[in-house]
Amino acid sequence: MDISSEVERVYDEYADDLYKYALMILADHGAAEDAVQQVFVKMMKMRNNILQIESFGSYLKMAVRNECYEIIKKHNRFKKWLTKMSNGPIIESLDKENTNEEERELLQRAIKELPTEQREVLCMKIFENKTFSEIGEIIGVPMNTIASRYRYAMDKLKQIIFSNNVNEL
């Protein structure tokens, strides 16, 4: 079997979800691209061992998550993270023709300001429609902790959004 074309097939199937997942954690396009790229490059280096992977979906999600936290760790070490978190929109309106750019901008800023772990939970709950228990299983954290993180995330979002522009939302 040609490993490269197998990895390419896996990429076509999972890359978009993985990229969005990386974006949830990192809130930065460049860093999300790096994380996904690293995971697939490592996968290609595994060669025939990739045939032993039972579920690509959960394996890759975990790999991307680990990669994201590695990137955060590195950036924290060199204190570059805040300056890097600035490029491109991380959320897009579902109704592209009637986008309220100001609203999108405000929500994006609020999401970016959340601590990583809270943003990860919030995005999985809202954008992937996952339950607390499903999120807990994916990231290996008890459901109650997930619920708390979500609670804190919502409180912070409210603070940021309503203190800025409550009437326009």
Partner 1 sequence: MNNEDIRIEEILRHYKLSSAPISLKDRIFQTKKSQWNKTWLVAASIVVVVGLGLTWRISLNPPSSEINDPKLVCTIIRTGKAAQLLALADFWANQPEGKNHAQQIYIEVANSFSDLNAGKQAQLRLKSF
Least Å from the CB of residue 75 to partner 1 = 20
Q: Is 112 in the site for partner 1 (CB under 8 A)?
A: no
Of 46-54, 64-72, 85-93, 140-148, which part binds partner 1 (CB under 8 A)?
A: 85-93
Distance between CA atoms of residues 167 and 129, nearest Å = 27
Binding partner 1 (rule: CB under 8 A), the pick from 50, 62, 85, 91 is: 91
The pair of three-digit structure tokens given for residue 129, joined into one six-digit string? 């429609």
Binding partner 1 (rule: CB under 8 A), the pick from 31, 90, 121, 135 is: 90
Contacts of 149 (CB under 8 A, 6+ apart): 117, 118, 120, 121, 122
- For partner 1, the closer CB: 78 or 163: 163
Binding partner 1 (rule: CB under 8 A), the pick from 6, 33, 113, 137 is: 33
Binding partner 1 (rule: CB under 8 A), the pick from 10, 26, 60, 107 is: 107
Distance between CA atoms of residues 57 and 17, nearest Å = 9
Nearest to 116 by CA among 162, 71, 163: 71
Are 91 and 107 contacting, i.e. CB atoms less than 8 angstroms apart? yes
Q: How far apart are the first and last CA of the chain?
A: 53
Separation in Å, CA 12 to CA 19, 120, 133:
12, 23, 28
Interface of this chain with partner 1, residues 116 to 155, rule: CB under 8 A: 123, 126-127, 154
Q: Which residues bind partner 1 (CB under 8 A)?
A: 4, 8, 11-12, 15-16, 18-20, 23-24, 29, 33, 36-37, 40-41, 44, 88-95, 103-104, 107, 123, 126-127, 154, 157-158, 161-162, 169
